[in-house]
Chains A and B, each alone.
Chain A
Amino acid sequence: MGYIHPYIPNSEEVKKSMLKELGLNSIDDLYSDIPEKFRLKRPLNIPHVKSEYEIYKHILNILSKNKTYTNGRNFMGAGAYEHYIPAVVKALSSRGEFVTAYTPYQPEISQGMLQTLYEYQSLVAELFEMDIVNASMYDMASALAEAALMTVRVTRRKKFIIPDNINPQHIETLITYTEPHNIEIVKIPYDRKTSMISIDALKKEIDTNTAGVYIQTPNYFGVLEEQVDEIEEIVHTNKSMFVVGVDPISLGIIRSPGSYGADIAIAEGQTLGAPMSFGGPQLGIFAVKDNKKFQRQLPGRLIGLTTTKDEKEIAFVMTLQPREQHIRRERATSNICSNEALMAVIAAMYIATLGKTGITKLAETIATNTAYAMKKLDEIKGIKVPYFEGFHFQEFVMNFDDTGKKAEDILDKMHKNGILGGINLSKMYDIGESVLVYVSEVHTKEDIERYIETLKEALK
Chain B
Amino acid sequence: MSQANKLDDIYRQARWHEPIIFLKSTKEQVGHNVPEPDKEIIKEIGDIKSKIPKALIRSTPPELPEVAEIEVVRHYTRLSEMNYGVDSGFYPLGSCTMKYNPKINELVSSLDKVTDLHPLQNEDDCQGSLQIMYELQQWLAEISGMDKITLQPSAGAHGELVGVLIIRKYHELRGEAEQRTEMIVPDSAHGTNPASSAMAGFHTIELPSTEEGLVDIEALKAAVSEKTAGIMLTNPNTLGLFEKDIEEIAKIIHDAGGLLYYDGANLNAIMGKARPGDMGFDIVHMNLHKTFSTPHGGGGPGAGAVGVKKHLADFLPKPIVDFDGKKYFLKYDIPHSIGRVKSFHGNFGVLIRAYAYILAMGPEGLKNASETSVLNANYLGRKIAEIKGFALSHSQTLPRKHEAIITAEPLLKETGISALNVAKRLLDFGIHAPTIYFPLIVPEALMIEPTETESKENLDLMIDAMKKISEEAYTNPEILKTAPHNTAVGPIDEVKAAHPKTMALTWRMYMKKHN
Contacts and interface: CB of A to CB of B under 8 A. Distances in A.
Contacts of A457: none
Interface string B147-169: 00000001111101100010010
A367 B48 contact: yes
Interface in B328-379: 338-350, 352, 355-356, 358-369, 371-372, 374-376, 378-379
Given A7-B361, A97-B84, A372-B45, 20 more contacts: A9-B454, A30-B371, A31-B273, A48-B363, A56-B107, A65-B128, A99-B106, A121-B506, A138-B342, A176-B339, A277-B115, A279-B344, A280-B343, A290-B505, A325-B195, A337-B191, A339-B155, A354-B32, A355-B25, A441-B35
7 contacts: A63-B128, A88-B31, A92-B77, A142-B341, A169-B344, A180-B165, A306-B502
B116 A82 contact: yes
A12 to B, nearest CB: 10
A279 B78 CA distance: 31
A21 interface: yes
Given A253-B52, A279-B119, A109 B198 contact: no
A330 B197 contact: yes
Question: Could you say which of A98, A131, A254 has the most chain B C-beta atoms within 10 Å of its C-beta?
Answer: A98
Interface residues of A, number: 205
Given A35-B244, A66-B128, A306-B496, A255 B107 contact: no
A309 B489 CA distance: 10
Interface string A352-363: 111111111110
A122 B342 contact: no
Contacts of B256: none
B297 A308 contact: no
A76 interface: yes
Contact of B274 (A34, A138, A305): A34
Interface stretch (B2-10, B14-22, B215-223, B470-478): B14-22
A109 B432 contact: yes
Contacts of B79: 111-113, 115-116
A119 to B, nearest CB: 5
A364 interface: yes
Given A306-B502, A359-B64, A59 B352 contact: yes
A82 B378 CA distance: 48
Interface in A31-58: 31-35, 37-40, 43-50, 52, 54-56, 58
Contact of B160 (A3, A37, A335, A352): A335
Given A49-B364, A334-B195, A100 B295 contact: yes
A166 to B, nearest CB: 12
Q: Which 7 A-B pairs have the closest CB atoms?
A: A279-B344, A279-B119, A342-B297, A112-B83, A49-B362, A341-B299, A100-B85
Contacts of B251: none
A1 to B, nearest CB: 14
A281 B438 contact: no
B302 A338 contact: yes
Nearest to B93: A102
Interface in B36-80: 36-38, 40-42, 44-45, 48-49, 51-53, 55-59, 61-67, 69, 72-73, 75-80
A417 interface: no
Contact of A38 (B160, B194, B246, B374): B246
B330 to A, nearest CB: 11
B82 A5 contact: no
B86 interface: yes
A164 interface: no
B52 A326 contact: no
A213 interface: no
A109 to B, nearest CB: 5
B104 interface: yes
Contacts of B65: 123, 352, 355-356
Interface in B111-157: 111-122, 124-129, 131-132, 139, 142-143, 154-157
Given A172-B339, A372-B41, A353 B32 contact: yes
A92 B76 contact: yes
B382 interface: yes
Interface in A249-292: 251-256, 259, 268, 275-282, 290, 292
Contacts of A208: none
Contact of B128 (A50, A64, A307, A342): A64
Contact of B66 (A106, A255, A356, A420): A356
B139 A139 contact: no
Nearest to B349: A277
Contact of B506 (A35, A38, A133, A335): A133
B494 interface: yes
Given A99-B106, A122-B507, A255-B58, A354 B45 contact: no
Contacts of A280: 119, 154, 301, 342-350
Contacts of A324: 191
B196 interface: yes
A66 B195 contact: no
Interface in B400-453: 400-401, 423-424, 427, 432-433, 435, 438, 452-453
A450 B183 CA distance: 58
B375 A27 contact: yes
B506 A102 contact: no
Interface in A85-125: 86, 88, 90-92, 94-113, 115-119, 121-123, 125
Contacts of B58: 251-256, 259
B227 interface: no
A290 B509 contact: yes
A317 to B, nearest CB: 5
Nearest to B33: A358
Interface stretch (A155-163, A221-229, A236-244, A398-406): A221-229
A122 B20 CA distance: 10
Nearest to B507: A122
Question: Could you say which of B32, B77, B506 has the most chain A C-beta atoms within 10 Å of its C-beta?
Answer: B506
A329 B341 contact: no
B498 A319 contact: yes
B35 A278 contact: no
Contact of A142 (B115, B342, B361): B342
Given A226-B56, A334-B195, A141 B34 contact: no
A343 B117 contact: no
Given A65-B128, A305-B497, A43 B364 contact: yes
B91 A102 contact: yes
Nearest to A330: B194
Given A365-B37, A372-B44, A444-B38, A9 B298 contact: no
Given A44-B142, A276-B119, A357-B66, A310 B156 contact: no
Contacts of A349: 72, 76
A343 B242 CA distance: 36
